[in-house]
Structure 1
Amino acid sequence: MIDVVPSLFSELLALPDAIFTRQDALGVGLSDEVLTAALRRGLIIRICRGAYTAPGTWTREEHRQLLARAALRTYPDAVMIGATAVAAHGIPLFEVPVVPSDIARAIVREARTEHLRIRPLRHEPMATPWGPATDLATALVQMTIDHGITAGVASIDAALQRRAATTHALDAAYELVRRWPLSSRVRCALEWSDGDAESLGESVTRVILRAAGWQVASQVPIVDRHGEIIARADLGIEGTRVLIEFDGKVKYTDGGVDALFREKKREDRLRALGYVLVRVTWADLFHSERIVAAVSAALMAAA
């Protein structure tokens, strides 16, 4: 029997998204024993309980989408919520684990499996490229409760910057949960959010600086002695001449040596006007003390 399994799995893997369920397998005559044997031989892999696909490698976000689609195939009445719904709406996430994938169903109490967190369904779903999900504002609020202020601000900024959500919708979604445990995370994230941020790195840097007690502005215009705008800095400590630039690779890889030269000239011009620059890299985001120390030193230098 096992010799004919590969051809049978080819038929199953031709289903949408190359995902099939246990019920799909039973429907073509495969038993649980055959599924177990195929898993051992590496012919298929389990995405989550009751859902399978072919072996492969995925990025974190590809894995997130695969797991979400598998959850919807396993539970046809499910709706994506929280971080899973935020991703389904096309909004980037900062350091949010793939597992558990968040879905909601018509149940009374929260339930969990190895890969899924299943909550009671409280909101009407809407269509997304991944399938049915709660509206973006509701998803952002739930994600912030689940994963904290930094993750919340990063995705809220991105949603505002892309005009995918409004502050009015976010405030309304917060009002529905304002008495929930950990809802203070949402209140803080909304207060610290800024739709002018242009990247996750800028958003996370601003959270670190706000948590250290500084007031921070995004996309700070810099004027020369004639009052003309000559540059915009990613971030600035309000009331000071300290600027913070987040170094994303795209700034330089797209322009090569010329981009590096232009950036050096720009930096020299800013320093000539009395500004002190602090550069932050992606690696620094995971060592907030480095950023705080660098900005503290810059404030002393600028005083």
Structure 2
Amino acid sequence: MQIGPDGAIRGEVRAAGHQRVAHGLYRIETPELAPWENFLRDLGALRLVLPADAVFTHVTAARLLGWQLPALPEQVPHFAAVRGANRPRRPGLICSRLVHDTKARLVHGLPVDEPAEILLRAARDLGHLDLAIMVDSAARLGHVTDRDVREVLASKRPGVRRLRDVWLSRNEGAESAGETLLHRFHQVLDVPTRSQVDIVDDDGRFVCRADLLVIGTQSLHEYDGAVHRDKAVHRRDLRRERALTRTSYVRRGYTLDDLLNHPAVLMHEFDRLLGRPHKAARLRAWRALIGDSLYSDAGRTRVMNRWYRSTNPVDWARTA
């Protein structure tokens, strides 16, 4: 039996007052703590089964770094990268091979991989839209640069093609996952936009900053997420809308439901705004991206099956 600094136990017997983290790994029960604190304690306990040079990566590291994340399933495995062949195999823990000279950084006291490597590993599993949310967030926070990504892209490792496509179409102005999705929707539908545009009235006074301005029009397109249902935010939004009446701009708000379930309605609206004919190919391209992402049942099933296979599950029924 091995005991960690926070009371985590590596062994076959579960001690009283401990909860299971993974097979043969337990830590002290802390139901009174918030999900974030429990997440940190789970990762701290996992270090008992990981090599000393291991680093957390993929969506695990992205969460530690405070990046925006796509609509992840409720149960997501933990991801780590280790050097050599010593890769622990436990349900709920996916270890990939660390093949580069990494400069691990400590985040909340836990080692994480380099941001560009985190994105590359996520690119192997996630869909285009899912990865775009992480890329936009990492770029906006200044955690990854064009030089960092280009060094990774030159390696020709798995995931490079998807990461390149997403990186070249990134929107560093996106401040939420919803804004990233709205921006990508405009890109797929060939609607030219500018992000995070300062709007002023006729007297030159600042009115607001808009998520997207459709180039060549006075139309502001913004993502309205759940936060806008908060009373304080709603009051601020009303004051903002009244201020916009002093300008020639027209604001249009869109929700996740609009983007996922009613894209044809939005496409027709955009085409009328730009005075152009409809092209069904644009709509098909968007629906294909949604179908491959965690925002669809098919996409979630694909990713979860991939992660399940990566944990090397043992089917004991076949050994009888």
3-state SS, counterpart of residue 194 of structure 2 = strand
Match of 1:74 in 2: 49
Q: Would you say 1:156 and 2:127 are equivalent positions?
A: no
Match of 1:49 in 2: 23
Alignment of 1:86-165 (within 5 A): 86-97=62-73, 99-108=76-85, 112-123=89-100, 124=102, 125-165=104-144
**CA 1:292–1:242: 2 relative to 1, 3 Å:** farther
Deviation larger for 219-228 or 202-211: 219-228
Q: Would you say 1:201 and 2:174 are equivalent positions?
A: no
Asked if 1 retains the 8 angstrom alpha-carbon contact of 2:136 and 2:174, the reply is yes
Asked if 2 retains the 8 angstrom alpha-carbon contact of 1:91 and 1:155, the reply is yes
3-state SS, counterpart of residue 124 of structure 2 = helix
The alpha-carbon deviation at position 75 of structure 1 amounts to 1.5
Match of 1:241 in 2: 218
Within 1, Cα distance between the matches of 2:231 and 2:143?
27
Match of 1:25 in 2: none
**CA 1:17–1:109: 2 relative to 1, 3 Å:** closer
Count residues with an aligned counterpart: 268
Within 2, Cα distance between the matches of 1:132 and 1:268?
50
The AA in structure 2 aligned to 1:146 is D
Alignment of 1:257-296 (within 5 A): 258-270=235-247, 273=248, 275-281=249-255, 283-284=256-257, 287-291=259-263, 293-294=265-266, 296=268
Asked if 1 retains the 8 angstrom alpha-carbon contact of 2:137 and 2:175, the reply is yes
TM-score (structure 1 length as normaliser) = 0.73
Asked if 2 retains the 8 angstrom alpha-carbon contact of 1:224 and 1:230, the reply is yes
3-state SS, counterpart of residue 146 of structure 1 = coil
3-state SS, counterpart of residue 198 of structure 1 = coil
The alpha-carbon deviation at position 59 of structure 1 amounts to 6.6
Deviation larger for 46-55 or 62-71: 62-71
Q: Would you say 1:20 and 2:1 are equivalent positions?
A: no
The alpha-carbon deviation at position 117 of structure 1 amounts to 0.9
What whole-Å deviation, never above 9, does each CA across 1:249-287 have from its counterpart, x for those lacking one? 5567474664143123034345xx1x4432123x437x5
The alpha-carbon deviation at position 44 of structure 1 amounts to 3.2
**Tell me, which stretches of 5 or more residues in structure 1 are unaligned?**
1-11, 23-31
The counterpart of 1:188, out of the listed 165, 182, 187, is 165
**CA 1:256–1:296: 2 relative to 1, 3 Å:** same
**CA 1:239–1:292: 2 relative to 1, 3 Å:** farther
TM-score (structure 2 length as normaliser) = 0.70
Asked if 2 retains the 8 angstrom alpha-carbon contact of 1:64 and 1:101, the reply is no
3-state SS, counterpart of residue 68 of structure 1 = helix
What whole-Å deviation, never above 9, does each CA across 1:14-43 have from its counterpart, x for those lacking one? x64553322xxxxxxxxx4x52x85xxxx4
The AA in structure 2 aligned to 1:94 is P
Judging by fraction of residues, say which structure has more helix. Answer: 1
The AA in structure 2 aligned to 1:70 is A
- Larger relative contact order (CA 8 Å, sep ≥ 6): 2
The alpha-carbon deviation at position 119 of structure 1 amounts to 1.2
Could you say which structure has the larger radius of gyration?
1
Within 2, Cα distance between the matches of 1:48 and 1:205?
38
